[in-house]
Amino acid sequence: MSSQSTAVVIYHNPRCSKSRATLELLKSRGIEPRVVEYLKAPPDAQELDRILRLLNLEPRELMRRKEPEYTDAHLDDPGLTRETLIRAMVQRPILIERPIVVHGDRAAIGRPPEQILEIF
């Protein structure tokens, strides 16, 4: 499975139980993903746009809307553009839902962790 695992990336927060469970699920299947601690190394706007397209989601659908940063930055304004919302997630990565697993040209959110199995 080494060729498969080189194409697998998990956007991970080690403090999140769902993120840890998703990483363990991958490893239990023999998949060693590239782990991106997105709070330390957030994806840039281009990568985040690609992830959103793979997930078939709009930016707000990938945002943790209960985080204080969401309200503080007035991101609930319906007039904000896709680009503005993506930029907000790059600047405030705490807003990005987690974990996200990308496998080639497919992606899934690990909520629940088993949901990521659909992309393999």
Helix (H/G/I), strand (E/B), else coil: 113: helix
Catalytic residue among 7, 16, 35, 39: 16
Total domains in the chain come to 2
CATH code, 3: 3.40.30.10
Residue with tokens 């807003």: 95
Same-domain check for residues 88 and 105: no
pTM of the model: 0.92
Same-domain check for residues 2 and 30: yes
78 carries an active-site annotation:
no
pLDDT in tens, the chain (120 residues): 334 444 899 999 999 999 999 999 999 999 999 999 999 999 999 999 999 999 999 999 999 999 999 999 999 999 999 999 999 999 999 999 999 999 999 999 999 999 999 999
**Which domain, by its residues, includes 47?**
43-95
Same-domain check for residues 87 and 118: no
Same-domain check for residues 89 and 102: no
